[in-house]
Structure 1
Amino acid sequence: MTQTTTRANQPIATSARPLSIAARAPALVRELNVIDRERLLAHFLALDADDRLLRFGQIVPDHVIENYVRTIDFKRDTVFGVFDAKLQLTGVGHLAYLPAEGDKRTAEFGVSVLESARGEGIGTKLFERAAIRSRNTHVTMLYMHCLSRNSTMMHIARKSGMKIEYAYGEADAYLTLKPADQSSIIAEMLQEQAAVFDYALKRQARNASKIFESFMPAAEAA
C-alpha cells in the first residue's frame, strides 16, 4: 500500500497530561460551519512538525494547511469541534463522505487534538459524534486512515471495534454501522444542543472578561 493523503485523515499524537478525573470538564462536541474557518486554521497551524507528519504523511508548510482549511466544503462534509474557555478549538473532527457504491455509503473520519488538551478523551468524543452522525445520514461504513505508529488513533479504532488492516507503516480501520433509529437521532440532537449552549456560555464569559479588563487601566489610573 502506497502512502496516501485523504481529505479527512487528521491525527492525534500519544502524549497526555497528568490530569485528575475531577478536574476534567466533559468534552462537548459542536458542529462547525463556515464562520469557524479562521479558528480551524488557527487549530491546524498550531500542530507541531510531528503532528503535521501524521496528518499529511509528510511535514508540510503553513500554506498547505491554509489551502486545506480554505477548501473545506461545509455543505459536502461535516466538521466537529471542541472549544476551550477561550473559544480556542482544542479538537477537530472531519467527517468526509466518500462516493456511494450502490447501497453502500462510506464516510472517512479524521481527528486532531492540540497537545495541551490531550489525555482528556476529546478524540474519542469526536469519534463518537462522527459515528452517530454517520448513522443518521445513512452511512454504512466509517473509515479511518493513519500511520500505524499513531497509537492514539489505533486505540480509538480498537476501542470502537473497528477492523484494522496494516501495510507498509500505514493502517486502515473500518467500522460497520447500524442503521439510524429514534434513539440515535435524539442522542445527536441533545448532544448538539448541549454543545451550542456550552459555547454560548463560554462566549458570554469571555466577553464579560474582556469588558472587565477594559476597565482595569482606568481603575488603576484613578
Structure 2
Amino acid sequence: MNILTTRTAEQIVAHDRVSRPAGRAPVLVRELTAIDRDRLLAHFLALDEDDRLLRFGQVVPNHVIENYVRAIDFTRDTVFGVFNSKLELSGVGHLAYLPAEGDKRTAEFGVSVLESARGEGIGSKLFERAAIRSRNTHVTTLYIHCLSRNSTMMHIAKKAGMKIEYAYGEADAYLTLSPADQTSIIAEMLQEQAAVFDYALKRQARQASKLFESFMPTAAAA
C-alpha cells in the first residue's frame, strides 16, 4: 500500500494527473460530512439491483436506502467519497466502528462504485484511505463482510493480504493493522488536502461551464 509522505496537495494532484493512463480522471478520496448526505443518497439510488445486492447483501428498495443514508452518524463512522467532474459520487466507502473488546478495536468497511466508473481503481483507493484512517483511530483489525461472488471486494481483500474465511456463499476478510505513526498521520492529512483541492478545482470548472452555457443562447441570438 503506497504511503504519501511530504508532498503538498497541489503536487499530489499534479502527479496523479500525469501518472495516470491518458483520459482517466485522478482517484482522490475525500472525507464526507452530513452536508454530502443528498449526494450519498443519489449515489446509492443509482445502483442497480445486482450492485445493491453486492453492497448490502440483499436487493434493497429505495426506501431502505433512504433510511440507511438518513441514519448515517458522521460523528461516529467515517464515510469517504470519490467525485467525478460533475461533482457526483462515483464511489463511496463506509467505515463503521464496531464495539471495542478490551484493547482490540474493529472497523467494518463497505464500498460501492458506480458501473460507469469501474476499472479505475476507485474501490482500492477507498480501501487504502479507510485503512489509514483505521490505523490513525487505533483500530487493530479492518473487517470486510460480503458475498463471496463479489469480485471487487475479493480483489481488494486479496490485494491487501487479508485473511479470508468462506462460508455459505459469504466471505469474511480480516486485516491486522499496525499502530499509527507519524507517516500514517501525515499521509492521511496530505491525502485529504489533495482531495479537497481537487474537489475545489472540479467545482470551479463546473461553475465556469454552467456560466458559459448560460451565455450560449444569447450568443446564438446575436
TM > 0.5 between the two? yes
SS at match of 1:172: strand
Distance of 1:162 and 1:23 partners within structure 2: 32
> Is 1:215 paired with 2:215?
yes
Superposed structure 1 runs of 4+ greater than 4 Å apart: none
- The 5-angstrom pairing of residues 62-141 of structure 1 reads 62-141=62-141
Of 168-177 and 51-60, deviating more is 51-60
Distance of 2:202 and 2:154 partners within structure 1: 32
SS at match of 1:21: coil
Letter in 2 for 1:78: T
Distance of 1:127 and 1:167 partners within structure 2: 23
1:51 aligns with 51
1:195 aligns with 195
* Deviations 1:128-184, CA, capped at 9 Å, x for gaps: 000000000000000000000001100100000000000000000000000000000
Distance of 1:74 and 1:201 partners within structure 2: 25
Letter in 2 for 1:183: T
Distance of 1:185 and 1:144 partners within structure 2: 23
* Deviations 1:35-57, CA, capped at 9 Å, x for gaps: 00000000000000101111222
Distance of 1:80 and 1:52 partners within structure 2: 18
SS at match of 2:203: helix
1:158 aligns with 158
Distance of 1:59 and 1:175 partners within structure 2: 27
Cα distance, 1:26 vs. partner? Answer: 2.3
2:186 aligns with 186
Distance of 2:21 and 2:168 partners within structure 1: 37
Distance of 2:142 and 2:112 partners within structure 1: 17
Structure 2 gap segments, 5+ residues each: 1-19
Distance of 1:145 and 1:123 partners within structure 2: 15
Distance of 1:120 and 1:128 partners within structure 2: 14
Cα distance, 1:205 vs. partner? Answer: 0.5
Letter in 2 for 1:186: I
Letter in 2 for 1:126: L
Cα distance, 1:61 vs. partner? Answer: 1.0
Cα distance, 1:24 vs. partner? Answer: 2.1
1:8 aligns with none
Cα distance, 1:22 vs. partner? Answer: 2.4
Q: CA RMSD in A?
A: 0.9
Distance of 2:58 and 2:74 partners within structure 1: 25
Identity percentage of aligned residues: 87
SS at match of 2:59: coil
Letter in 1 for 2:132: I
Q: Give the alignment's TM-score, normalised by structure 1.
A: 0.90
1:9 aligns with none
Cα distance, 1:220 vs. partner? Answer: 1.2
Q: Give the alignment's TM-score, normalised by structure 2.
A: 0.90
